[in-house]
Amino acid sequence: MQTTSVFAVMFTALWLAALIAFIPWVQKTRHPDSKPLGAYLIFLAVFTITSYAIYLVILALQGAVWPGLLETGLVHAIVVIIVCFLPAFLLASWMIARKPPKAPPLDDSGAA
């Protein structure tokens, strides 16, 4: 198995572990007006999209600029994980801490 695919499997395993570990964090951090499941689903979506987008950018840069980046050792792998997960965690935490938007009314009594 290639080093990049081993790293992708490790990244995915750590991503799943992080999502399970963040359940109490979401319960504590979410805005009081948001529902627990909705807040967790928002956290899950934002964290997943952001972390994988950053990971794909790192893989593209690794292939173009520094081909041996992921093969150099554990320290580089840990740095890549931190660079992927920290901004994703901060953005997802910010999203769930905001007040949820109010839905527009469904009645058309005011429409002409």
Answer yes or no: is 103 within a domain. Answer: no
Question: What residue numbers bound the domain in which 48 lies?
Answer: 3-97
Confidence grade of residue 87 (pLDDT, cut at 50, 70, 90): very high
Q: What is the mean pLDDT of residues 63-71?
A: 69
Inter-residue contact 18 to 85 (CB < 8 Å) = yes
Q: Report the alpha-carbon angle 87-6-22, nearest 5.
A: 35
Predicted model pTM = 0.76
Q: What is the mean pLDDT of residues 58-71?
A: 74
Answer yes or no: is 31 within a domain. Answer: yes
Residue-wise pLDDT for 29-53, tens only, equals 999 988 889 899 999 999 999 988 9
Answer yes or no: is 33 within a domain. Answer: yes
